[in-house]
Structure 1
Amino acid sequence: MANNTRPGSRLMDRSEYPGKPKPLTSGPDATVSDAVAKMSDKNYGCVVITDPEEKVIGIVTERDIMNKLVAKGLDPNTTKLSDIMTPDPRLAKETDDMLDWLRIMSNERFRRLPVVDDQGRIKAVFTQGDFVSYTWPDMISQMRAMAKAQFAGNFHYLLIGGGIALYSLLMVIILGFR
C-alpha cells in the first residue's frame, strides 16, 4: 500500500494506538477449542495465527469458526487452527493511512485488520468499529460545517419565514384583543 499519508492519519499516529491491547495470537497447530477458550476469556473476535517470529500467516475469526468448523460438524478438540484459518490475510503497516484501510475493508467486506511493524511482526488488530470511532469526530465536524453552510445558504428563506411567522403572531395577538 502506498504511503502517501496525511499528518496524523497513519494508524500508529492515532492517540488510541499505543493503548490497544496486544492481539491474541496462536501457532497454527493449536486446536480450535483452545483458541475459542482464549477468545471467550478475553472477549476477542479473532485469533491471529503467527509463526515463531510473530509474523502473521493467517487469521481465524468467529465467522471462520461458524462457517468452517461448526457448519461442517468438525470437532474443535481435534481440528487445528491451520485447518480453518484464512491464510495470508490482508495486513496493514503501522505507517499506512487509516482512511485508505477503512475504504478497503468496507469495499472488500472484512472486519478485522492485523497491523504489523516494518519487520512484519504483529502489533495490533484494528476492527471496522475502531475505524468508525477514530473517524467519528471528523464526521461530526464535517456535518457541522455542512449544516452551517446550508443554514447560511438559506438564511434569506429563514428571514422571510420568520417575518411571516412574526407577522402572523402579531396579527393573532392584535385581532384577539378586539
Structure 2
Amino acid sequence: MSTKLELPIQEFTTPYPVTAREDSSIEELLDLIKNLKVRHIPIMSDGKVTGIVSERDLKIISALSTREKFLVRAADLMTPDPIIFRGSTSIEDVILKMSEKKIGSVLVSDEQGNLQGIFTVTDALDILVEILRGKK
C-alpha cells in the first residue's frame, strides 16, 4: 500500500534563486552559472518570471560565433512560461509533474505569485536519500 507524500515543496526549495533579466547577455548568464554554480536561471521582467534558461541551453548556444553570441539575449534563449508551483504543493505532485514533463527544475512561488525559490532534480534526489534512510 502506498502513501502520498504530503510534505510541502517549500520545505525542500532552494530559496531566493539567482535570476537574470530578459536583456541579459549570454556572457552574463554564463558568468552566473559558472561563478554561482547553478544550472537554472529564472528570467524576470517587471518583477515577474517570464522564462528560464538552463545550463544545457547555454551549452547549445556555445556553438555560435562570438559575434552571434553578442546578439543573443536571455529572452531569445529562455524557455517561456516555466512551470511554477505554490510552496504549499505536495512534494509528490511536483516530482510527478517534473517526471511527466521530463524537466530538471520548477519554480516555487508564495501565495501571491512572487518567486520564492527553485526546486531541481537534485533536490528530489536529496529527498529520496532521506526517505531511503528513514528520515522522512
TM-score interval w.r.t. the shorter chain?
0.7 to 0.9
Residues 28 and 80 in structure 1, CA contact (< 8 A), matched pair in contact too: yes
Q: Which amino acid aligns with 2:39?
A: G
2:24 equivalent to 1:24: no
1:10 is matched with 8
Residues 59 and 89 in structure 1, CA contact (< 8 A), matched pair in contact too: yes
Higher-helix-fraction structure: 1
Instruction: Single out whichever of 82-91 and 117-126 deviates more from structure 2.
Output: 117-126
* Cα distance in 2, alignment partners of residues 56 and 116 from structure 1: 10
1:121 is matched with 114
Residues 5 and 92 in structure 2, CA contact (< 8 A), matched pair in contact too: no
Higher-strand-fraction structure: 2
Gaps of 5+ in 2: none
Q: Given the superposition, is the C-alpha separation of residues 25 and 49 from structure 1 closer, same or farther in structure 2, using an over 3 Å criterion? A: same
CA deviation string 1:32-51 (max 9, x = no partner): 11111122110010211012
Q: Which amino acid aligns with 2:38?
A: Y
> Which is higher, the Rg of structure 1 or of structure 2?
1
CA deviation string 1:118-156 (max 9, x = no partner): 222211111111012123232344xxxxxxxxxxxxxxx
* Cα distance in 1, alignment partners of residues 72 and 87 from structure 2: 32
Gaps of 5+ in 1: 142-178
1:70 is matched with 62
Identity of aligned residues (%): 23
5 Å matches for 1:13-162?
14=11, 16-17=12-13, 20-53=14-47, 55-67=48-60, 69-71=61-63, 73=65, 75-141=68-134
Q: Which amino acid aligns with 1:131?
A: A
- Whose RCO is larger (CA < 8 A, sep 6+)? 2
Q: Which amino acid aligns with 1:40?
A: K
* Cα distance in 1, alignment partners of residues 62 and 35 from structure 2: 20
TM-score by length of 1: 0.65
Residues 15 and 116 in structure 2, CA contact (< 8 A), matched pair in contact too: no
RMSD of Structure 2 on Structure 1 (CA): 2.1
Q: Which amino acid aligns with 1:128?
A: V
Residues 10 and 94 in structure 1, CA contact (< 8 A), matched pair in contact too: yes
Q: Which amino acid aligns with 1:10?
A: P
User: What is the aligned length?
Assistant: 130
SS of residue in 1 equivalent to 2:123: helix
